[in-house]
């Protein structure tokens, strides 16, 4: 198997450290990352660059972006694409819709792959929910309820430009759960957020947001995201999340990140689901796209990035009733 050569830029987010052990990848260079953060056994083989521009002078085919300031990441993505590199980007990949549109256009124009780290709906346990909905097991989707929680820490960035802020970097999970699991489009969204409980001086970090949405088939959806979740040593996972999709003939749910995955219909009662059913390895699929030149990710790029589009809108205009428009 051809190994895809990868350059890492920044460590502000979920940088792909796992790729050091990936059989289909070779990390060849890094920038914006302190050498001591690289596993010791890999440092000597890595080229450390002083800037993104220098990183783009290496033979890296794919750049994994976790930019130091998320608000600058769209500019970095466009620079990489124009330099003929494929891009794999932490969420949110852009802060403005115009940037998002330019990323999509540029990716197509230069013939290079662009993807966010948007795997959640296509991996266990959520792929099983997606497969259940697609099969029509619970009938037409009627309502979706989703929750994503992380623990609160005063160290969370006070400036939303660093990580995107609560709506953009956590609320995006609500939008991915809703759109990517059901295959429906959000057509209207209302968001309300609060920084209640944030005692950090001069911190603008919000601690909770609620979304109310309308979907393209007439269904409705709601989502909550917050920095109020449980943490170690009293909780055995990082974060706390729940998704329930109600159809006209039953429902399907994942409780506590896959602790319980099941559906219910009046005819069958409660049926457990295999959390891995229908799951793909998102990163493997991105690498395969680069190798083959084929479209292998299960949804078009516009659909993949639609949740990003909606959190950009909500982040710009919270407390507004937002409606979709053609793009």
pLDDT in tens, 198-234: 988 888 899 999 999 999 999 999 999 999 999 988 8
- The predicted pLDDT at position 96 comes to 96
- pLDDT value at residue 326: 41
Q: Does the pLDDT value for residue 321 go beyond 80?
A: no
Q: Which helix (H) or strand (E) holds 63?
A: strand 62-65
Burial 44-62 (b: 16+ CB within 10 A, else e): eebbebeebeebbebebbb
Q: Is the pLDDT of residue 137 over 50?
A: yes
DSSP conformation class of 1: -
Residue with tokens 């999709």: 245
Helix (H, G, I), strand (E, B) or coil at 215: strand
Largest CA distance in the chain: 62
The neighbouring-strand residues paired with 274 are: none
Full-model pTM: 0.95
Are 25 and 4 spatial neighbours (Cβ–Cβ below 8 Å)? yes
| Segment 77-100 mean pLDDT | 98
Question: What are the structural domains of the chain?
Answer: 4-117+282-296 (3.40.50.720), 121-279 (3.30.360.10)
Mean pLDDT of the chain: 95
The pLDDT of 153-169, averaged and rounded, is 93
Short-list 236, 108, 239, 230, CA closest to 169: 239
Q: For residue range 8-34, what is the model confidence (pLDDT) as tens digits? A: 999 999 999 999 999 999 999 999 999
Residue 177 has pLDDT above 90, yes or no: yes
Work out the pLDDT band at 147, boundaries 50, 70, 90: very high
Share of the chain above pLDDT 70, in %: 97
- Check: CB of residue 288 under 8 Å from CB of residue 3: no
């Amino acid at each position: 198997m051809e190994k895809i050569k990868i350059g890492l830029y920044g460590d502000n987010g979920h940088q792909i450290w796992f790729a050091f052990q990936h059989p289909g990848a070779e990390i060849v260079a890094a920038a914006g990352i302190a050498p001591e953060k690289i596993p010791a056994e890999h440092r000597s083989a890595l080229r450390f660059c002083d800037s993104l521009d220098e990183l783009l002078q290496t033979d890296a085919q794919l750049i994994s972006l976790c930019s130091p300031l998320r608000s600058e990441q769209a500019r970095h993505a466009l620079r990489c694409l124009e330099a003929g590199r494929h891009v794999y980007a932490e969420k949110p990949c852009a802060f403005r819709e115009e940037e998002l549109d330019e990323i999509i256009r540029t990716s197509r124009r230069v013939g290079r792959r662009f993807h966010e780290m948007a795997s959640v709906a296509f991996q266990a346990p959520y792929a099983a929910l997606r497969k259940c909905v697609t099969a029509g097991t619970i009938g037409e989707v009627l309502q979706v309820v989703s929750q994503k929680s992380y623990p609160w820490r005063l160290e969370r960035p006070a400036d939303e430009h660093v990580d995107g802020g609560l709506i953009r970097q956590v609320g995006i999970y609500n939008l991915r759960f809703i759109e990517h699991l059901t295959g429906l489009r959000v057509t209207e969204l209302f968001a309300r957020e609060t920084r209640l409980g944030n005692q950090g001086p001069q911190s603008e970090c919000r601690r909770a947001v609620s979304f109310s949405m309308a979907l393209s088939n007439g269904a409705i959806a709601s989502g909550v995201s917050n920095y109020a979740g449980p943490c170690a040593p009293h909780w055995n996972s990082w974060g706390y999340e729940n998704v329930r999709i109600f159809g006209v003939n039953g429902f399907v749910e994942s409780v506590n990140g896959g602790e319980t995955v099941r559906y219910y219909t009046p005819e069958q009662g409660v049926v457990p689901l295999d959390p891995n059913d229908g799951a793909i390895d998102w990163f493997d699929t991105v690498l395969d796209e680069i190798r083959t030149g084929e479209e292998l990710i299960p949804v078009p790029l516009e659909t993949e990035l639609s949740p990003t589009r909606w959190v950009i809108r909500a982040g710009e205009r919270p407390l507004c009733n937002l409606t979709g428009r053609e793009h």
